[in-house]
Amino acid sequence: MTAIKNLSRYVRSKNAGPFWMTIDIFCDSTEDYSRIKKSKDSLPEKVAALYEVDKDSMMFFFADDLLTVKISIPKEKPQGHKYESDMHSGQQFVRILELQID
Amino acid sequence: MSIVDSTCKILVPIGAVGGGIAEEEFKIGLSRRPDAIACDAGSTDSGPSYLGTGQTKYAREAVKEDMRIMIVGGNELSIPVLIGSCGTCGSDMGVDQMKEITLEICKEERIKAKIACIYTEQAHATIKKKLHENKIRPLAPLGDLTESLIDECDHIVALAGAEPFIQAIDKGATIILCGRATDTAMMSALPLRWGLPPGPTWHAAKTVECGAQCTSIPAKGSVLITVDKDGFTVEPTLEGSKCTPYTVSAHMLYENANPYKLVEPSGTTDTSTAIYKQLNEVAVRVEGTSFYPAEKYTMKLEGSGAVGFQTITLVGIRDPEVCAHLNEWSTNLKNYINSQIKRLKYDTNKFSYDMKLYGYNAILGEKIPDDSEAPREVMVLFTVTGDTQEMASKISKLVQPYLLHFPYNFNEQLPSFAFPFSPSAIDKGAIYEFKLNHVVELDDPLELVRIEYVRAEFRESVR
């Protein structure tokens, strides 16, 4: 087991419109990327638990050319709800850094 | 030469008007003889308040300077300047402000122009009519639209596609100022008008919608797209910067829930079949993008409405003992505040509050394990949201003494925390939330837009 942060060179998060946020995990090597991709069956459940969303509501993309994994998650509350803490979802990637991958 | 043998070159000077165009690189772009200058001026990204109030985010002077560079450049080459999402949120007010700025520039620079103002703000009655005609459907994760949801919106805009821009060019407009538009509409309009295929056109437009973000130096310089019948080429104008298959294809991930399928009013761009190739040192060639025309033309709707009024308080804590026991301290404080609210019989249906501990867990809101290392200092952001500003202010006043003095250890002297302001509480005014994530089906792409033309003219001699 190792954390996402050890398998990527750059992870970012951002809004994708007011109702979705999206996380891009950029890997450096095919090996690291494949390791995340191999976990794709168990990944939705883990990410769903981490971000407290329904696992079937998310979208996962594996961009082989870019060695990049993209995860899009519906926001629990729309962007800018009254007690928003991250208007652009720019810091939401931090949670996923420690996610353990087989 | 048949029209499909032609190429169409669009210069995109920056990701958003008001961000500060790099003039030198823009001029290098101009020297490449583009056919149009196109730039976005807004999005939903800054949050619901802009659309809720119809207001713009950037400083007027910064917007004017960027507009001046583009208008002067466009006039020099006699090519159109196309601006989308004027005024950040694309409200009618935003378009009017941009029109005023444009007229000022034309007067100052002695430029004659036909200006098209494309208004995309919608009356509540129009949207309700479409709702009753069963023309509106939700996009995930929102559900069906209701009349009351429409009523909750202070402003509603529909996102224009390329069609109103094309109409304005057809009518001879040289400066086109659009309300809310899709991020790509203003870059796509001219290639589509010239009969170039929609796949490469929309994909090219999407690639440069954030300006230099698709290049190796994302923060600076203009980008050029050249669309032809087989694909498109993208390149930066900044010396030392370049596009690579990586920077170009990676940009498709940015701020997109789905990086391969991009829905526009007239159809869907599918980039999954696209092939990216390094053309020379700085340029990338993209071919193979597909486009599937929509069965029905749709415009996306955005709406934002007020949900209350806020008062905020900021207070800093450096007390090591409090910092070492923040979970317990904040739970105790909230319990105490709740008991006071109960004691004074405030109606809890009329307000709510929230407390964030910056430097501790404010951004992700996670419960921090008790054995974590204590932060050196934290900033408490205490927010009250009320039905009225008076309500928010009143509850905020109730909690001020505790925000100043609430101890961790009740057996010791009361602490005094660090307020940076006097008065300590700040009335923030109305706050807004996004309400709509729906599309409306249309028979005519121009049905929900209004285009007005105004001439910037001056006389050589004024009596």
Please give the share of chain B, as a percent, with pLDDT higher than 70: 98
Q: Which of A72, A75, A88 sits opposite B45 (nearest CB)?
A: A88
What are the tens digits of pLDDT across the range A47-99?
Answer: 999 999 999 999 999 999 999 999 999 998 899 999 999 999 999 999 999 99
B246:A79 CB<8 A: no
Say how far apart CA A65 and CA A67 lie, in whole Å: 6
Helix, strand, coil shares, percent, chain B, to 5: 30, 30, 40
Closest-approach residue (CA) in chain A for B300: A17
Say how far apart CA B144 and CA B272 lie, in whole Å: 30
Cis peptide bond N-terminal to B423, omega within 30: yes
User: Please, what is the average pLDDT of chain B?
Assistant: 95
Instruction: With cut-offs at 50, 70 and 90, classify the pLDDT of residue B5.
Output: low
ipTM associated with this complex: 0.89
DSSP states along B316-350? EE--HHHHHTHHHHHHHHHHHHHHHHHHTT--TTS
Q: Name the minimum distance, in Å, from the CA of A20 to any CA of chain B.
A: 7
Length, in residues, of chain B? 463
Q: Is A85 on the interface with B (CB under 8 A)?
A: yes
Instruction: With cut-offs at 50, 70 and 90, classify the pLDDT of residue A44.
Output: very high
Please tell me the pTM assigned to this model. Answer: 0.93
What are the tens digits of pLDDT across the range B434-443?
Answer: 999 999 999 9
Instruction: With cut-offs at 50, 70 and 90, classify the pLDDT of residue B1.
Output: very low
Q: Is B269 on the interface with A (CB under 8 A)?
A: no
B302: which strand partners? B157
Q: Name the minimum distance, in Å, from the CA of A1 to any CA of chain B.
A: 22
Instruction: With cut-offs at 50, 70 and 90, classify the pLDDT of residue B366.
Output: confident
B310:A86 CB<8 A: no
Q: Name the minimum distance, in Å, from the CA of B250 to any CA of chain A.
A: 7
Average pLDDT over every residue of B199-224: 96
Residue B355 has what pLDDT? 97
Say how far apart CA B125 and CA B143 lie, in whole Å: 20
Strand bridging mode B81-88 / B175-178: parallel
Residue B2 has pLDDT above 80, yes or no: no
What are the tens digits of pLDDT across the range B81-117?
Answer: 999 999 999 999 999 999 999 999 999 999 999 999 9
What are the tens digits of pLDDT across the range B374-392?
Answer: 999 999 999 999 999 999 9
Residue B412 has what pLDDT? 85
Residue B457 has what pLDDT? 86
**CB crowding B139-152: b at 16 or more within 10 Å, else e:** bebbeebeeebbeb
Who contacts B357 (Cβ-Cβ below 8 Å, separation ≥6)?
A: B326, B330, B378, B379, B380
Residues of A within 8 A of B250 (CB-CB) are: 26, 66, 68
What are the tens digits of pLDDT across the range B160-195?
Answer: 999 999 999 999 999 999 999 999 999 999 999 999
